[in-house]
A and B are shown apart, each in its own frame.
Chain A
Amino acid sequence: MIATPATELTGEFTTDGRRTGPVLMDLKNITLRFGGVVAIKDISFDIREGEIRAIIGPNGAGKSSMLNVISGFYVPQEGEIWFEGARRPPMKPYEVARLGLARTFQNIALFDGMSVLDNIMTGRLNRMKAPLWAQAIWWGRAEREEVENREQVEKIIDFLEIQNIRKTPVGRLPYGLKKRVELARALAAEPRILLLDEPMAGMNVEEKEDMCRFILDVNDEFGTTIALIEHDMGVVMDLSDRVVVMDYGRKIGDGTPDEVRANPEVISAYLGVSQE
C-alpha cells in the first residue's frame, strides 16, 4: 500500500498547480455492515479544502456506500467522521445538508413535477428562513429572500448554460441536461463539499466533456471542494488531485493519479493479474 502523502500536500501545490488547503473532512476507520455483509472495512481517508478527490473501484467495491456514509444516509457501525475539525455525531441527512454537504445521485434524483428553476431553488431552501406567515402574505423578508436567492440561482444557471430551459418541467428534459440540472441544484446550496455520484454515467463523449469542464470550472471559480465517484478511468485521472481506490470494501490505494496508476494492487484489482 502506498503511504498517504498527507504531510507533503499540506498547503502545497497540486499536480496542476493549484493550492489545496487544510483537511476539511477526515474519515477515520469507517466500517459499515449490512447484517453479515461488510460493505466498508476499516477505511480512512481525508478530503482537503479545494481539491477534487475521487473514489474509484470496481463494481460492488463500496464506493456508493462510502458516499452515503459521508452524506449521512448510512450511519457506520465503527469509525469517526471529522468535519471542519470537529467530530460529527450521527446525523439525519437533512442535518448533514445544513452543515454544507450537497450531492448528486447516480440515478438522477430531481423533482420531476417542478420546473428547472424551482428545482435549483430547492438547493437554497436552507438559506431561506422567512417565517410561514411572511411567506403567506408574500411580504418583507419572504419576498426579499425570494429575489436574492433567485439572483444566486440565475448565476448558476448562467454558469451551467441552461438559461433556455429555466421554466421547463424537469420531467421533459433529456438525460444529459437532467444531470446538469442536478449539478446546478447541488451547486445552488453553495456547499463546503460537493459529492458527485458518477456524474458522467450514461453520457456520450460530448456530454462527458461538458461535464468535466463544469466540474473543473466549479472547482476553479468557486473553490468548491469536490468528492466524486466515477468509472471512466481517463476522466478520473485527468480531473482529480487525489484518488482513493476501493475493492471489496477495503482501501487498496490512495494518492495522486500517477501514484495510484503505478500501484500493483490497483492494477490487479482493475486489470487482473497473471497467474504465474
Chain B
Amino acid sequence: MIYREAGDFKTSYRDDGQTFPIRLDRWGYYALLAVAFLVVPFFIDSYWANAVLVPFLIYAIAAIGLNILVGYAGQVSLGTGGFMAVGAYAVYKLMTAFPGVPIFVHILLAGLITALVGMLFGLPSLRIKGFYLAVATLAAQFFLVWLFNKVPWFYNYSASGQITAPERTFFGWAVTGPATSASAKYLTCLVFAVVLAWVARNLTRGTVGRKWMAIRDMDIAAEIIGVNPLSAKLSAFAVSSFFIGIAGALLFAVYLGAAEASEAFGINKSFLVLFMVIIGGLGSIFGSFAGAAFLVLLPVFLKNVLVARLGWPTDLAAHLELMIVGALIIFFLIVEPHGLARLWRLTKEKLRLWPFPH
C-alpha cells in the first residue's frame, strides 16, 4: 500500500498540530495546489471558468465564512446574502472613488467593512440564540438589500440602479471589467480562496477557534473557564463577515461584473450558502469546499445530462434540481449533520481496514 497512516511519527508539537498530519495527504495537497496554479490557468476556457471554477471558488469562500459562524461558533445566520451585498457595494464604492488603488486592496477593505457591519448585526447574538438569532440576521438580510436599493449614493446615482464594475488591472492584467480573461478571473479567485482557507484553518485550530467552539458546545462552561462571550461571538461575526464580504466583492467585481442588490444578493443567496455549509459539513473547512463544489456542480451536471443528453426541457431540469437539493438537505440534517466532510472521513476509516471486517 502506498497510502498509509501508520509509521508517520511526530517528534514536535508543531508537527503534531499541522493541518495535514499524514505525509501523503500533504503531498496530495501540494500537488493539487501546483495543478491549480500552474496547469489549470493555461487550459481554462471561458465556459469552465464562468460555469464551474470561478463560482465554486467564490462560494467556497462564502461557505467558509458562514461555516466559521454557524459551524464553529454555533451562531445561526440567514444574513449571508446581505453581507455579500455589503462586500459588493463596498468594493464598488471604493473602486469608483479611488481608481488608483490596486483592486486587491479594495477587495480586502471591502472585507473589513463587511466585518464591521457583521459585528453590528451580531450584537443581538449576546442576548438571543437559535431561531431568534436567525430571525434577527434575517432582518439584516432584508434591511441591507433594501438600503442598497433605496439610497442612490450606494449605486452612484446610476439610472438603472445597478452597479457595474469598471475595468481595473493588476500588473497590466485586467482583473475586473468586460475585458477580463477567463484565467485572470480564475487566478484572482483562486488566490483569495487558497489564502482565506489557510487563514480559516489557522484560526480554527488555534486559540480563537477553541473559544468559538467552546461557546458553541456549552456557553456557560465557556464563560466559567474565562471566555468572554461578547468578544468570542463578535469576533466570530467579524471574521465570518470578512470572508463573506470578500466573497461578495469577488462575486460582483470579478464574476458578475454588474449586479443589483435584490437580484444578486437576495434571500436565496443566504439559503444557497447555508445549504452548502449543511451539505458540506458544519465545522469543517474541507466541508465548505465540498458543499460549494456540490451545489455549484449539481445544476451544471443536471443541465449537461438531462437537457443536453436526454433532451428534457430546461425548466424540468431546473425543478428537478430544487427537488434534489431539498431532499439532500433533509437527508443530511437527519442522517449526517456533519455532511460530506464526515462521510469522507468515515469512508477513510472504513478503507483503513478494508477488506477485513475488523
Contact = CB atoms under 8 A, between A and B. Distances in A.
Interface in B273-317: 283
A110 to B, nearest CB: 7
A98 to B, nearest CB: 5
Interface in B221-251: 221-229, 235, 239
Given A111-B218, A113-B216, A118-B213, A146 B206 contact: yes
B203 interface: yes
Contacts of A98: 226
Contacts of A73: 224
A242 interface: no
A128 interface: yes
Interface in A199-244: none
Contacts of B229: 94
A80 to B, nearest CB: 22
Interface residues of B, number: 31
Contacts of A118: 210, 213
A97 interface: yes
A142 B207 contact: yes
A114 B208 contact: no
Given A109-B220, A136-B203, A143 B227 contact: no
Interface string A92-117: 11100110001101000111111000
B64 interface: no
A39 to B, nearest CB: 18
Nearest to B283: A113
A147 B14 contact: yes
B13 interface: yes
Contacts of A13: none
Contacts of B13: 146-147, 150-151, 154
B214 interface: yes
B202 A110 contact: no
Contacts of A93: 223-224
A276 B14 CA distance: 72
B199 interface: yes
Contacts of A113: 213, 216-217, 283
A136 to B, nearest CB: 5
B226 A189 contact: yes
B106 interface: no
A122 interface: yes
Nearest to B218: A109
Interface in B48-63: none
Interface string A181-208: 0000110010000000000000000000
B14 A143 contact: yes
Closest 5 CB pairs of A and B: A97-B226, A109-B221, A111-B217, A138-B202, A150-B13
11 contacts: A73-B224, A98-B226, A111-B222, A114-B214, A121-B210, A125-B225, A125-B227, A136-B203, A137-B202, A146-B14, A150-B13
Interface of A: 71, 73, 92-94, 97-98, 102-103, 105, 109-114, 118, 121-123, 125-126, 128, 130, 132, 135-138, 142-143, 145-147, 150-151, 154, 185-186, 189
Given A94-B228, A136-B203, 15 more contacts: A93-B223, A93-B224, A105-B221, A111-B221, A111-B222, A112-B217, A113-B283, A118-B210, A118-B213, A122-B210, A132-B235, A132-B239, A135-B202, A138-B206, A150-B16
